[in-house]
Structure 1
Amino acid sequence: MKPRKIFIYQLLPRLLGNTQANNIQNGTLEENGCGKFNDITGKFLNQLKKGGYSHVWLIGVLAHASTTDYTQYGIPREYPEIIKGNAGSPYAVRDVYDVDPDLAMNVNGRMREFEALVERIHRAGMEVIIDFVPNHLARNYKSINRPEGVDEFGCNDDTSVAFSPGNNFYYLPGEELEIQFPVKKMADVTYRESPAKVTGNDCFTNKPTPYDWYETVKLNYGIDIQNGYIKHFSKIPDTWNKMRDVLIYWSKKNIDGFRVDMAEMVPLEFWRWVIPQVKKEFPKILFLAEIYNPDAYRLFLAHDNFDYLYDKVGLYDVLRDVACGYRPSSDITFALNNVGDIQHKMLNFIENHDEQRVASDYFLKDGKHGPAAMIVTACVNVNPVMIYFGQELGERGMDEEGFSGKNGRTSIFDYWSLDTVRRWNNNGKWDDTLLTGEERALQKFYAKLLTLCNRERALSEGLFYDLMPANYDNFEFDSTKQFAFLRGTGDELILAVVNFDNKEVDVVVNIPTHAMDFFGIPDNGSFNAFPLLSDSKFNTVFSIDSPIRIKVGATSGELYKISSC
């Protein structure tokens, strides 16, 4: 059955397939190992498909700067002082036309191994998303894999000026790059950059700090940032053409979509120019924008440019605060209303590579406390939903890997492996033999939730009706701890009730006559409510005049299929 609703499984190949348990802090590839493209097997992918996923987002695929020496393969030497961690940031891309050699069994055949992975994902019935990083490149960028006739970034730049519409980079003429903090260096060589290029996070100084994206350099899209953000678009800037070629290159490799890193740091005019060109040749390709400015949301969606946007500063931030007890659950209503007309275009999640793990000490401390937030995330609308690998196992992200430190996140900068994922892997079996009882239960919950979202038309296609206004004055429903809504289409209706409290509660949920009118369901007296998530086989009977009375577990929830008696 083809899913009607997009569910994205985000994974870092470097970590996913790594079964070495050494985990030496700041360890090298040789010491700690590294997952490979080939570790993402058909068996694993079939598990994802069975678990309800429609898309796989592979991060760290593009060749990025690392401290591992691949010069014997013709790959340029790297400089540790401009690399975060030993494995490096996946978003400091050193060759936009190449894949990461760390991920290949045969370095010389790395592109073939990647292409074979894309084929495996497609054979499993899912689609492939990779990153597109348009705002910046690795500090020591040098492409050895670019197609014939394609110029290198910066090869024709006038480095004597800070800005030129024809330049690919911004410069600080007369100034040499100075790293302002203790760094590891190779014994025989030091990285030199003169004139210094502007750092990726719009840092116009030759002395970037540890808090800057010092491992990257900003790309110039024809905007004179230092002189009032004056736009020079009368002639298409060279960077626009180069980045369009990159998108076409990867689209031809049967990629199904791009997650666009920091899309709002690149001019909107570029997206309105480039996306239609890509979609003309590849009509089904998806563009998903990482974006944090709500004022720009509708601009990025206009003219059918971007297909979906991050809902980080909206639903994610609110759900996190609600789950942690910092805000009332009724605030979820306001978060949804703020993007009401475009809610179906927002990507929902409670974890990704930038955010702290739900089970970390900095969030909910245990994955079993996440289901309430996950039910809301997955079920409030027809929009796409993302799960970060290990989230469904309660991965805590509390390792102290090296550069990343113990911060509640899974490192994207270090060579490492995750205990939960290693045990799930179980020597390539990808089963639950080595998982704990709690991990199995959580994995089962995620699979069941996603399966329901795909199977039940009310969840995959239906309209949303917020029940909170009808329950604000309900003394048997705590609108600071519980959240309730309906999803429905045609004659199918599902009630969702979640409880953010850390104790089981008995609640009464009012369903107004208007709700049934909204879905076109006649009030024939009594209704049955059949639980879908739990193993219970007992119906709950209610009517509009006699509200539904239910028991909801701590930090959990239930979905009820509603039918006339």
Structure 2
Amino acid sequence: MKKITIVAGISVMLLATACKTKDLKMKVVQKESVSNKKEVVYQVFTRLFGNKNSTNKPWGTIEENGVGKFNDFTKTALLEIKDLGVTYMWYTGVPHHAVIRDYSAIGISNDDPEVVKGRAGSPYAVKDYYNVNPDLAVNPDNRLQEFEALISRTHKVGLKVIIDIVPNHIARKYEGKSNPDGVRDFGADDDTTVEYRRDNNFYYIPNTRFEIPDTDKPLNGEKNPLIDGKFNEFPAKWTGNGSRKAKPDRNDWYETVKVNYGIRPDGSKDFPELPAGFETKSYQEHYDFWKGKDVPDSWDKFKDIALYWTAKGIDGFRFDMAEMVPFEFWSYMNSAIKVNNPDAFLLAEVYNPKEYRNYIHLGKMDYLYDKVETYDKLKDVIQGRALPDGLSDIQNGMADIEHHMLHFLDNHDEQRLASPEFAGTPQKGKPLMVVSTTISTSPTMVYFGQEVGEAGNENAGFGTHSRTSIFDYIGVPSHQRWMNEGKFDGGQLTQEEKDLRDFYKRLLNFSVNSSALMGKYQEIQSVNRQTTAGYDPGIYAYTRWSDTQKLIVLTNFSWLTTSAFELKIPSDIIKKWNLKDGNYTITDQLYNTSSTLLQVVNGEGKVQITIAPSESFIYQL
């Protein structure tokens, strides 16, 4: 695509072919009601949050680089996060995953560094779903009790709790040392002489031994008794990303194995399918459909895991790589979760827009990542590859599901918003955050440190710069300055970082209290792009409204150009707002320091605007 010159600043394939996407782009009558307020999810990488150590040695050990604990989430810390405008805490990396640390004294086997990424391990290579990461506990023997205490503390300050479940794959060496009575381990009852059997938990490469992939030196070349070029897995299993090789590629998810949900190797389905018309059915009707049905063993195993955590007070789940698992399974598990907790918050990582409606309406997901559409477009805009106008097409194209598309600009998988590889500076990210937060009724997500401009510059070892590493023991400098040795008062922040956090606090708190942001959307971009003099390429504008609140949102993605122009408000919006000819005061809701006039003449509106680089206004009538 030809690069557009905007001085822009802020502002595996499913294992088997899922049911072909149906044309569900109609208004689906949902039985469940949607939230009547904005939700804000605060994703925090639990291992890193409370770490005060700033050594940041590449490949450093816990002793060298430190690690955060459940207990670091004090009442003070949680209240400060809530005060930011947050409603949900997503504690990332909680289930016990493979780590390179000796916990054999408490009955945990050591993990082979040749099938673990980094020293601290990937949080998405879960080793025991009925317990939590021992690194996160002051007393690893009591790690589950320490996490239960964190759930309780979080609830007491008025926040809800989300954790990860990763149904597509588990650690290469899964050991359910904490299984409840009657729970059999993954693979314990598998027939390993065949590639596929419906009730096998894994896919096998019969009569073939697993081989270590050709990767860089594990642990950066450090000696370890388990580093011997071998890993005892016979027969070899398919790898988490679907690779069917006994020796996976270095870029495969070699630390994990693929879970079998009754999809045959040829892609066909080996389980009951939902009847036609179930996209309009409630979760209760989905639950009733599955009663008494014979389903693959893996379905029951993961349903039991989810209900185990729901019983412990978990309010919702983020499902990793959900589109690699058939939506019929999600219907089965999510309806069971919702019957136990109708308010459960169910968020899925899905990147295929053609499958969005299947996973929402048939899989009974509440929310999906809006990565491929809104996130990618905003990144293109700030990097000068696109005009912002395409945001309107995205919003209109997803009008029937926009509430279900969670918005974010930063998370554990993506480049940090403030990194040179993304926006370049935290200030240039401000207009992106305003649009991401206010353009739809969907929830907003913030990744810890984003609100103080964390750029992810560290060389952590296995993890690379621009993304805060999820594989290593590392500190998060900007976040540590806010944490201020456990005072959580921002005492070490620069003034610029304090101002940035204040911006996030203002924006997020406005969003969770705004009725208009749960109401109607209409762009005013096209008419102004076509007819307004001085409407620079980096400007983007739209309206949001409810019965009680009318908003004009205006942002300047340019970081060099101040723009002055007369913004047009089309007659159809003026009519919908029931405005008569005359002058109306509109006031910015972010800082309450800017007021101007909306003049309505002959049923059309106009507003004199002067907007600085990277500035945004949320004008309220």
TM-score bracket relative to the smaller structure: over 0.9
Report the alpha carbon displacement of residue 523 of structure 1 after superposing the two structures with TM: 1.9
Deviates more, 1:493-502 or 1:229-238: 229-238
Counterparts of 2:399 and 2:37 in 1: how far apart (Å)? 21
SS across alignment from 2:351:
coil
Of the three residues 399, 406, 419, the one matched with 2:458 is 399
**Residue 90 of structure 1 corresponds to which residue in structure 2?**
123
Q: Does 1:310 align with 2:355?
A: no
Report the alpha carbon displacement of residue 231 of structure 1 after superposing the two structures with TM: 2.7
**Residue 53 of structure 1 corresponds to which residue in structure 2?**
86
Counterparts of 1:150 and 1:428 in 2: how far apart (Å)? 40
Counterparts of 1:559 and 1:166 in 2: how far apart (Å)? 54
Which amino acid counterpart does residue 490 of structure 2 have in structure 1?
A: D
**Residue 65 of structure 1 corresponds to which residue in structure 2?**
98
Report the alpha carbon displacement of residue 3 of structure 1 after superposing the two structures with TM: 8.8
Counterparts of 1:243 and 1:499 in 2: how far apart (Å)? 46
Q: Does 1:475 align with 2:532?
A: yes
CA pair 69-3 structure 1, distance change in 2 beyond 3 A = farther
Of the three residues 293, 313, 327, the one matched with 1:268 is 327
Which amino acid counterpart does residue 246 of structure 1 have in structure 2?
A: I
Deviates more, 1:541-550 or 1:96-105: 541-550
**Residue 500 of structure 1 corresponds to which residue in structure 2?**
557
Counterparts of 2:59 and 2:158 in 1: how far apart (Å)? 38
CA pair 105-305 structure 1, distance change in 2 beyond 3 A = same
Report the alpha carbon displacement of residue 274 of structure 1 after superposing the two structures with TM: 1.8
Report the alpha carbon displacement of residue 166 of structure 1 after superposing the two structures with TM: 1.6
C-alpha offsets along residues 512-563 of structure 1, whole Å, 9 cap, x if unaligned? 12012234x232421111122235254334335561111112123111111x
Which amino acid counterpart does residue 42 of structure 1 have in structure 2?
A: K
Q: Is the 8 A contact 1:60 1:100 kept in 2?
A: yes
CA pair 292-479 structure 1, distance change in 2 beyond 3 A = farther
SS across alignment from 1:112:
helix
Counterparts of 2:430 and 2:470 in 1: how far apart (Å)? 25
**Residue 403 of structure 2 corresponds to which residue in structure 1?**
344
SS across alignment from 1:69:
coil
CA pair 230-299 structure 1, distance change in 2 beyond 3 A = closer
TM-score by length of structure 1 reads: 0.96
Counterparts of 1:303 and 1:187 in 2: how far apart (Å)? 48
Of the three residues 456, 480, 488, the one matched with 1:430 is 488
Q: Is the 8 A contact 1:486 1:496 kept in 2?
A: yes
**Residue 161 of structure 2 corresponds to which residue in structure 1?**
128
Deviates more, 1:172-181 or 1:474-483: 474-483
Counterparts of 1:284 and 1:533 in 2: how far apart (Å)? 30
Q: Is the 8 A contact 1:143 1:152 kept in 2?
A: yes
C-alpha offsets along residues 378-426 of structure 1, whole Å, 9 cap, x if unaligned? 00122100000000111001111000122x1110000001111111111
Of the three residues 198, 203, 213, the one matched with 2:243 is 203
**Residue 201 of structure 2 corresponds to which residue in structure 1?**
168
Of the three residues 243, 254, 269, the one matched with 2:302 is 243
Report the alpha carbon displacement of residue 230 of structure 1 after superposing the two structures with TM: 4.2
SS across alignment from 1:224:
coil
Report the alpha carbon displacement of residue 163 of structure 1 after superposing the two structures with TM: 0.7
SS across alignment from 2:420:
coil
CA pair 522-433 structure 1, distance change in 2 beyond 3 A = same
Report the alpha carbon displacement of residue 343 of structure 1 after superposing the two structures with TM: 0.5
What does 1:144-543 correspond to in 2, within 5 Å?
144-181=177-214, 182-184=216-218, 186-187=224-225, 190-225=230-265, 227-233=266-272, 235-302=294-361, 305-406=364-465, 408-459=466-517, 461-478=518-535, 480-503=537-560, 504-519=562-577, 521-543=578-600
Counterparts of 1:228 and 1:455 in 2: how far apart (Å)? 46
Report the alpha carbon displacement of residue 323 of structure 1 after superposing the two structures with TM: 1.5
TM-score by length of structure 2 reads: 0.87
Structure 2: segments with no counterpart, 5+ residues: 1-34, 273-292
Report the alpha carbon displacement of residue 209 of structure 1 after superposing the two structures with TM: 1.5
C-alpha offsets along residues 224-264 of structure 1, whole Å, 9 cap, x if unaligned? 12x24343458311111111110110100100000111111
Which amino acid counterpart does residue 615 of structure 2 have in structure 1?
A: S
**Residue 610 of structure 2 corresponds to which residue in structure 1?**
551
Matched positions, count: 557
SS across alignment from 1:340:
coil
Deviates more, 1:333-342 or 1:83-92: 333-342
Structure 1: segments with no counterpart, 5+ residues: none
Counterparts of 2:306 and 2:165 in 1: how far apart (Å)? 8
Which amino acid counterpart does residue 125 of structure 1 have in structure 2?
A: G
Alignment root-mean-square deviation, CA: 1.7
Report the alpha carbon displacement of residue 300 of structure 1 after superposing the two structures with TM: 1.2
Q: Does 1:38 align with 2:81?
A: no
Which amino acid counterpart does residue 262 of structure 2 have in structure 1?
A: G
Relative contact order higher in (CA < 8 Å, ≥ 6 apart): 2
Counterparts of 1:476 and 1:454 in 2: how far apart (Å)? 35
Deviates more, 1:211-220 or 1:448-457: 448-457
Counterparts of 1:478 and 1:509 in 2: how far apart (Å)? 8
**Residue 7 of structure 2 corresponds to which residue in structure 1?**
none
Counterparts of 1:368 and 1:230 in 2: how far apart (Å)? 49
C-alpha offsets along residues 7-47 of structure 1, whole Å, 9 cap, x if unaligned? 00000111110001121100111221100000011101101
Which amino acid counterpart does residue 151 of structure 1 have in structure 2?
A: R
